[in-house]
Structure 1
Amino acid sequence: MASVDAPRKPERRLSKTGRERLVSVGRHAVLLIWSFVVLFPLYWIVSMSLKPPSEAITLPPDWIFLPTVYNYIQLFQQSSFIMAFANSVFMVSASVILVLIIGVPAAYVLSRWKVPKQRDVLVWILSSRMLPPVAVVFPFFVIFRRLNLFDTRIGMIFMYVTINLSLVVWVMKAFFDGIPETLEEAAHVDGATQFQAFWKIILPAAKPGIFSVAIISFIFAWIELLFSLVLTNDTAVTVTMQVYQFIGVRQIEWGMLAAATTATILPVLLLIIAVNKYLAAGLSFGVVIKE
């Protein structure tokens, strides 16, 4: 007798919608885990700043505790920290404004005009970021001493502009390269001069890039420590130096250190939140231009 084959079970395959849903769930799970990894140190610092000094470094840590602002009260009662915080806000903000005034037009010229030996000029501009800070800080120390710029706010503003200028020029040149020249040609047809086309057409289109480099320049200048340690002493002390002061030789004031760190991070977060809508608008603008 011929053997009768057993009936095969029907294969179950996910539909296209099911596969897409599964991929979406996996992607969101990965993003959620990564967000937890990134944000956990921030949570740790903030929670430590809200604990009394006796509970700040207890192990295992107290996950449920009664928050207190004792560390912040002690922190802002120190006039040195307030002065350093004000110094950093003034010097960093002034340097960002100056670096945009210098770097954005320079990037536009390098993007739209044929500059002699343009490639060499771009490499020369970038070379200021190639050397490690420790290799150039002592020459700057000698120069600042000779020019009476040591421990001055003007000197630190100049230093911040120097370390951020190459970044602004390179990023903004790439951004201007992505803006079609037909926008300027249309403005010229309507009777606009070269400056009017740049001011009224190109700059508004480049606003997302300008805000991006402004944020990056602000962060790089705000968190800088080595130049502040070497080039300042009393008058132009920065907030990062004051945070460093809470790390003593024999003990570390963990509560005060966490409060100072949180206060230092806050301006950067507020700045990013304030300009977030411009960055989102820039993404949609880029899509329209490509089409």
Structure 2
Amino acid sequence: MATSDIEPGSSQRLDKDTRETLVRVVRHALLLTWAFVVFFPLYWLASMSLKPPGEANQLPPDWIFLPTVYNYLQLIQDGEFVAAFANSLLMVGTSVVLVLLIGVPAAYVLSRWDIPMERDILVWILSSRMLPPIAVVLPFFIIFRAFNLFDTRIGMVIMYISINLSLVVWVMKAFFDGIPETLEEAARVDGATQFQGFLKVVLPAAKPGIFSVAIISFIFAWIELLFGLVLTSFEAVPVTLFVYSFIGSRSIEWSMLAAASTAMILPVAIFLIAVNKYLAAGLSFGVVIKE
């Protein structure tokens, strides 16, 4: 075919298709690289937990090895780990439920009602997260001692609530601000009370925010170490403190540390997988943004 027979725009289309293909390739390469950076530490941790104690910290590591569940069996047989794991599940789960019961209605009130000094109240709520934990742990220790809350599950639940309450209030207020009040007005026209409108109209529309703050609150409470280190000693020890016990002053039990850390990650992963479909459904259908 002669050069003159080629359409003038064909080379431009070819260049455009080439650029789009190149952009897709680069985008996928970047995503794969980022996924590798994110997941490689998790793979390293899981592989260490499946190695015998003598091989966990070998350098260079054995990339091909015969996995063993010896470390996990040791954890299961350790009554202190089982008790600490159960403590964390009970305390963190209870704190997430309570912080939602307290924070979601509070955010709704701040969003819908005209409250004097509302901005000052929001700043005061946020101020509970401004100070670093090391600055407030000693006052909490004195208060817990005075009210017999030291080394109690109730005390740790209160502590976890205080950690996450400001997050719940601020995030949920933003979600409630994005839901038009006309939906509630329509519900009241149909005979619903304001409380019924809140339960049946506003909460379903704010479902993505509720699941989001529930996940974040669970993670923040689950990984907390400092308060558990200072405010517990035996009865209410969280699993993070037990994991930390594998780091000694002279040596580190790498294989047991990896196994305990992997076991500690599992509830978070299960929780994320369980609520992921609700998050996706809520983000797709449940939110109406104010214009």
Which band: TM-score by shorter chain?
over 0.9
Q: Could you tell me which residue of structure 2 aligns to residue 253 of structure 1? A: 253
Q: 1:180 to 1:19 in 2, by over 3 A?
A: farther
Q: Distance in 2 between matches of 1:146 and 1:130?
A: 25
Whether contact under 8 Å (2:207, 2:286) holds in the other structure is no
Aligned amino acid, residue 39 of structure 2: L
**Equivalent position SS for 1:210:** helix
Shift of 1:25: 2.0
**Equivalent position SS for 1:55:** coil
Q: 1:237 to 1:115 in 2, by over 3 A?
A: same
Alpha carbon RMSD of aligned pairs, Å? 1.7
Q: Distance in 2 between matches of 1:31 and 1:238?
A: 36
Q: Could you tell me which residue of structure 2 aligns to residue 4 of structure 1? A: none
Q: Could you tell me which residue of structure 1 aligns to residue 174 of structure 2? A: 174
Residue 275 (structure 1) aligned with residue 289 (structure 2): no
Aligned amino acid, residue 190 of structure 1: D
Deviations 1:203-253 (CA, angstroms, capped at 9, x unpaired): 111111101100000000000000000000000000000000001111111
Q: 1:123 to 1:145 in 2, by over 3 A?
A: same
Q: Could you tell me which residue of structure 2 aligns to residue 137 of structure 1? A: 137
Q: Distance in 2 between matches of 1:227 and 1:142?
A: 13
Ranges of 4+ aligned residues in structure 1 off by more than 3 Å: 10-18, 286-291
Q: Distance in 1 between matches of 2:58 and 2:150?
A: 42
Q: Could you tell me which residue of structure 2 aligns to residue 284 of structure 1? A: 284
Q: What stretches of structure 1 of length at least 5 have no aligned partner?
A: 1-9
Q: Could you tell me which residue of structure 2 aligns to residue 25 of structure 1? A: 25
**Equivalent position SS for 1:234:** coil
Residue 242 (structure 1) aligned with residue 239 (structure 2): no
Q: Distance in 1 between matches of 2:67 and 2:24?
A: 38
Shift of 1:287: 7.1
Shift of 1:289: 4.6
- The residue correspondences of 1:1-291 to structure 2 (distance < 5 A) are 13=12, 14-285=14-285, 289=289
How many residues are paired up?
Answer: 283
**Equivalent position SS for 1:268:** helix
Q: What stretches of structure 2 of length at least 5 have no aligned partner?
A: 1-7
Q: Distance in 2 between matches of 1:202 and 1:287?
A: 10
Shift of 1:55: 0.9
Whether contact under 8 Å (2:179, 2:288) holds in the other structure is no
Deviations 1:170-200 (CA, angstroms, capped at 9, x unpaired): 0000011111111111111111100000001
Aligned sequence identity (%):
76
Bigger mean CA deviation after superposition, 120-129 or 248-257: 248-257
Aligned amino acid, residue 34 of structure 2: W
Q: Distance in 2 between matches of 1:251 and 1:196?
A: 59
Q: Could you tell me which residue of structure 2 aligns to residue 5 of structure 1? A: none
